[in-house]
Amino acid sequence: MPSVFETSPTAIPITFVTKSSWDQVAEALPPAQRQFATASAFAAKPGGYLALPA
């Protein structure tokens, strides 16, 4: 998704996902972050969020 905001090297990315896009986004995550999301039982439900460790 293209950003409408100015980028910065110190910016923290925010990624929005839906149930239908979560699998694709999860596959692109580094293994440690993907494992964290799985262990947290993240399911991309409406209103849900997950802050991943850097």
Domain boundaries, the chain: 16-41
The rounded distance, in Å, linking the Cα atoms of 14 and 12 is 7
pLDDT digits (tens, 9 = 90+) for 19-51: 999 999 999 999 999 999 999 999 999 999 999
Q: What's the whole-model pTM score?
A: 0.75
pLDDT at 8: 84
For position 1, what pLDDT does the model report? 61
Tokens 């950003």 found at: 3
Cα–Cα distance for residue pair 10/45, rounded to 1 Å: 29
Give the chain's largest Cα–Cα span: 33
